[in-house]
Structures are given as structure tokens and as C-alpha cells.
Amino acid sequence: MKSCNRLGVLTAALLFTLSLGLGSVLAAGDPEPSPPRSDVKSGKKKSGDKKEDKDKKKFEEQFLDGYRAAYTAIYDRHDYPGAISRLKALGRDDRADVANLIGYAYRKLGDYKVSQVWYERALKADPAHVRTWQYYGLWQLEQGNREQAQHHLARIGSLCGTDCAEYRSLADALDKAPGTALVY
């Protein structure tokens, strides 16, 4: 009987540990930024000039390389100050993905006021940016604002449904008892 209890405890501990890791993965978002809202709306090429198109492509590649480097600094190395510097150096903090990651990095540093400014900037740039609603919802929970986090969860549900990773991540965090340390 004791070995069954030990096996049950070990299984529970393993499942708990895996769920913490999965929560981090679900909160991590995507290393590729979404296209700017203006590109999504028009879907048209605006230039026929080959040099201009080549320069634009080079600029976009540089942006993507910088974004990926900042993403890696945040999620792999937990170098939040370095990531913030990289993201700001991109000169594209008017994009929701960039502003959201800056907000996330400040939140991880414990600077909630500055983090909030960046989350709100991201939502101003793209009110349908699901990851920002998720991260800002986690911010709300960390501040003890469960009601606001529920509002963010409802917004995510209206944008991507209840099966998307962002919804599940915030819903799981809301299911935890108030005051429980979040690992996101």
C-alpha cells in the first residue's frame, strides 16, 4: 500500500511539474510577430519599384532578426533588460507584438506601472491582439484584480474561442487560488 501511495505522490508531482512547464509554453506566445495591422487590411503591394521592394524586404528581415533575438533573450535567457533594449532599438514599438513583449519584460522585472503602459500601447495598436489580452490578464491577476482578469479572459474568448492557448493559459491561472504564485 505504501508503494502505491508513493507512486501516486510521484505521479502527482510529475503532473504538477509538467503543468507548470506547459503553462510557461502556453504563455510564451509566438517567436514570429504578426504582420502590422495596415498590411493585414490592405493585402496589396504598394510599390512596383524593385529597389524599394528590396530595401523594404531587407528592413523587414532585420526587424524579424531583432524581434527573434529579443524573444530568445526573454524566454530562453530571461534577460529582460537586454530584451527591452533590443525591442526598443527596433524602432517599431508601435506594433502590438513588440509593445506586448516590452510590457511582458517589464512585468517580469516587477515594474508593473511601466508594464501596464506597454500593454495598453499594444492594445491601442491592435485591439484584437490576443497575446496582449492574455499577458495583461495575467498582469491583472498578479495585481489582485481577478474581475479585470475575467474581463480579459472573456475578450480572449470572443477573439479566438475557448480552445486557443491564450484562453487556456489565463483560464488556468484564474482557476488557481488567489495569492498563488503564477509561473508565466
Type of residue numbered 161: G
Half-sphere exposure of 141 (CA within 13 A, CB side): 26
Question: Contact at 8 Å (CB) between 149 and 137?
Answer: yes
Distance CA(125)–CA(178), nearest Å, equals 31
Separation CA 3–CA 91 (nearest Å): 59
pLDDT tens per residue across all 184 residues of the chain? 544 444 444 333 333 333 333 333 334 556 677 655 444 444 445 556 787 888 889 889 999 999 999 999 999 999 999 999 999 999 999 999 999 999 999 999 999 999 999 999 999 999 999 999 999 999 999 999 999 999 999 999 999 999 999 999 999 999 988 777 665 5
